Amino acid sequence: MLLAACTDPSQSAKTAPPTRPVQPRSALSLPSEGSLALSAYYSKLEADQLARGLMRIDGGGPDTPFDDTDLLRDFETLVFSDEYQRGAGSGGRLNRWASPVRIGLEFGPSVSPALRRQDQAEVSSYAARLARVTGHPISTVQRDANFHILVVSEDDKPFIERRARELLPQLGPADIALLRDLPRQYYCLVLTVPDPETSVHSGAIVLIRDEHANLMRRACFHEEIAQGLGIPNDSPRARPSIFNDDDEFALLTAHDEMLLKMLYDPRLKPGMTATEARPVAAQLARQLTGAGS
């Protein structure tokens, strides 16, 4: 099982959060104090990050140059190891999907109808973009999903535990507990299931907190879905990139699209080591960045 998550680099809040809810919730029931506190915390966190010039949506520019050497370095760092090294980890090998990626979006009982519609539109559009970038079949589906996204609040713990067990029976008790009782510093996460023999993904589950404000919510979809395709690591040197825990960029960048193009290039195969992949990866990095042209 591979874990990747978007986390708070500071690990703790520096000031007490406000006490008012910051986004609409289902009219069927009032959110708990714990859910309200999380909503307030993440709303303040997003506002602080934006005030510091973080969570950029411009994809980078003259201030974030990179060349083929940078791209190759980032590809090898991000693809051939995983952020948390849980279980077998990536094994230092390229992991990706061979079968079509069928994304199913599910919502906890507390998620409002308006946010459900917003999230469905976001994920559908993003899946189409990822399919164009990778050349791999990626789409949203109503049934027979193999890439599951749960959008849930703090009040949906029974739903989280039940659906996680049903959707991915391979999950162990520690994985179930992590999904159910996600620490506050984890904004969101993805767990993928690669075959240790073939390095091919057969399933994934993403958890997105309903308590997030709008941009962080979108950022979680962008990072966790992309990481679930086979980019399990983060690196402080990757820039401009969402695969970097400094939160400088909120949404998938042109640099990140190049990484995904490389990952799904048919000349690279699941199970390759970084050394085996390097000649082709270096050629791809030169082509994508226009090096030497």
Q: Per residue in 40-69, pLDDT tens?
A: 999 999 999 999 999 999 999 999 999 999
C-beta of residue 180 within 8 angstroms of C-beta of residue 192: no
Region of poorest pLDDT, from 30-39, 76-85, 130-139, 141-150: 76-85
Residue 16: CB partners within 8 Å, gap ≥ 6?
A: none
pLDDT tens for each residue of 66-109: 999 999 999 999 999 765 544 334 458 999 999 999 999 999 99
- Cα torsion 179, 101, 236, 246: sign: negative
Tokens 């519609």 belong to residue: 117
pLDDT at 12 over 60: no
pLDDT tens for each residue of 205-261: 999 999 999 999 999 999 999 999 999 999 999 999 999 989 999 999 999 999 999
Tell me the C-alpha to C-alpha distance, in Å, between residue 191 and each of 78, 87, 213: 16, 11, 23
Among residues 21, 59, 61, 23, the alpha carbon closest in space to that of 37 is found at: 21
pLDDT tens for each residue of 182-202: 999 999 999 998 899 999 999
Output the pLDDT for position 209: 98
Residue 100: CB partners within 8 Å, gap ≥ 6?
A: 136, 137, 138, 139
Helices 214-228 & 113-134, crossing angle to 10 degrees?
Answer: 40
| CATH assignment of 68-289, among 3.40.390.10, 1.10.230.10, 3.30.160.60, 3.30.70.1350 | 3.40.390.10
Output the pLDDT for position 29: 73
Output the pLDDT for position 21: 37
